[in-house]
A and B are shown apart, each in its own frame.
Chain A
């Protein structure tokens, strides 16, 4: 019988959630072991074999720690802030295309929770909501350091959002659509050279990559939560499970930023050199599988490719964190406003000219 694609999307929701929740311990371990390797020391090796139970130990610690709410804090907003930190990154995964389509009984089920035609804009909108967690956390803690950290962090995030917004325009010019699924499909190449976004719009790629560090408050842009300057910035007063939620939110935001970069610039879920139809054909002719089974196998391979690319970006996040020193706040803002924004505008102008010339067949 033919199911409505909506049910497939609904079934994807818990799967994506579970995937994210299992991904966070993985990135925790990668960070711990990666930083240990880069700093020539041993990583966690007490809890379980190769420290594999370390994330579990961390989670248990957060659960059992005493939850301390400052006396003069604004309780409702204090409790709301960690929730606001976790929701937008998870919501961002609602529009990321994770794989191609599953064909079942003549109906196509795209492996994407929400297939709205403006998914790129929706993603930008959701990232701009991340600012609220920082502001509410800093203000409701009734602590001058927290408030300062919150104002710094939120103005940093907003400044880099502007750079992202401007450079995205040139990307949309090149691809001609706001739909993430369509953008991924346009990066499919088959046996030719993959037309990845990084090749078509290198400046946009670099700008977005740098801005994603600023958006997730990761080094070298983590002055707002710099341990040596502001205690812990906007989450100074948070302990126990609430702090764990902030932590979780930061790692899921890293995943969301990586997924965003992969989808726009590294071909999304496409397996390099193998388009979706080619893969399905291989499975159908060589293994003599049915269309349904072939599509499932294709989707599986595409998921593996997607996860591998996302992990590349996550590794770079970890690598940069333990390599580069922190930016000073005014240097940070200068970079966002005086370098990335003008470069973004120039990029748009150049892309406009080039696209116009190419559309007219090489003549002005």
Chain B
């Protein structure tokens, strides 16, 4: 990620240190992860110790300190999805991709994450791939859905 883009984002927030989280969120959404250089740049510009920036980057779930795959698969583990079999959906995704939640496969194809509630409980169990919702999914259908992503 280039420094100029990072500086743009920081400037948008007037370089205020109370905007640290908002700035990191924008970098995350732009770049899909937070490289070390980005964290260093933000700390330097906002005059915040790098330890504090790291504390925040590791505390909040939205941030990733490692690169993400081309397709981000989010499995909803909210209560409504849980009672409708989300755990089995997750297991089938783990079997298919060979990775656990929080991991990215060696080909950088899929990143798997669990989320706590996507708020569309009527469609549970739900998974989301690159922001597209797949509702009423079952363990036996996940492989077919993933096949369409290359």
Partners in one complex: no
Interface residues of A (CB under 8 A from B): none
